[in-house]
Amino acid sequence: MLRDGMVRAMPIALLLSAALAAGAATSPDRDLEFLRSYVQTRGWALGKPVKITVLPDGSAVLFLRAQPRKAENRLFRFDVATGQVRELVTPEQVLGSEPEQLSAEERARRERMRVTDRGFTNFDVSEDGKLVLVSLSGRAFVVPSGGGPARQVAGTGPKGEAVFDPRLSPDGASVAFVRGGELWVASVDGGAARQLTQGATPLKTHAQAEFVAQEELHRFTGYWWAPDSKRLVYE
């Protein structure tokens, strides 16, 4: 009787052993895939909308978003009426085949903001909601919020000085930015940029937030437009 019971139990024991062996063999692979996915998606954070901004008339929502496994942000528009999401501008559209390059100022700023993504990290919208300003690789571009080609409005200086911290004027007609430690302004319609400050040195810059303001107060700009778009205040 005991022997018959043991004989009947043997197939079950063999099946259990096989199942355990199979589980042991595949478990490390599953663990590795989980860890790989976790790292590649940065804890499943990539692909989520960031810097969400509603246009003044409420017709659309703009935001930055990366691909699920590529930490490079693009600018998107969500149309409230249709529910459709579409890309407004991508890094490839403004840089072409050129690789993204960070100036020393931009690299330090991203470190203090704890930003590790590539591509666009911020954008600025005019008060009427018609224009959007983005910057990449030391240059500034404007794109219509409804869609259309991007236009460069400020580029690097004669010695390769990068555009830093560009900001649209409230009326959307001008863009201010820091370049070579000085404050500049340019028209969004084109034309040469005008230098507004003088006397910057490696130890003294204009219109840039100092280290303490960035690191301790989380203030990352050093100048501000007046509401009438006619003046700028800077530190």
Q: What is the pLDDT along the chain (235 residues), one digit of tens a residue?
A: 445 544 454 454 544 455 445 555 556 777 777 777 666 676 667 778 889 999 999 999 999 998 877 778 999 999 999 999 999 999 999 998 888 888 888 888 888 888 778 889 999 999 999 999 999 999 999 999 999 999 999 988 888 899 999 999 999 999 999 999 999 999 999 888 999 999 999 889 999 988 888 888 889 899 999 999 999 999 9
Q: Is the separation of the CB atoms in 179 and 199 below 8 Å?
A: no
Single-letter code of the amino acid located at 109: R
81 occurs within a structural domain = no
For residue 9 the two structure tokens come to 């139990």
- Residue 147 backbone zone (phi > 0: left; psi -120 to 50: alpha; other: beta): left
Look at residue 40 in the predicted model and tell me its pLDDT. Answer: 63
Q: Is the separation of the CB atoms in 65 and 50 below 8 Å?
A: yes
Q: Is the separation of the CB atoms in 69 and 114 below 8 Å?
A: no
Same structural domain, 119 and 210: yes
Pairwise CA distance, residues 224 & 219, whole Å: 12
6 occurs within a structural domain = yes
110 occurs within a structural domain = yes
Q: Is the separation of the CB atoms in 128 and 56 below 8 Å?
A: yes
Q: Supply the pTM of this predicted model.
A: 0.78
Same structural domain, 109 and 31: no
Same structural domain, 108 and 219: yes
Same structural domain, 33 and 108: no
Same structural domain, 112 and 206: yes
Q: Nearest-CA neighbor of 45 among 62, 67, 74, 30?
A: 67
Cα–Cα–Cα angle for 204, 140, 61, nearest 5°? 120
Residue bearing tokens 């555009």? 163
- Residue 11, domain extent: 1-40
84 occurs within a structural domain = no
Element (H, E) at 198: none
Same structural domain, 131 and 201: yes
Query: How many distinct structural domains can be found in the chain?
Result: 2
| DSSP-assigned beta bridge partners for residue 125 | 132
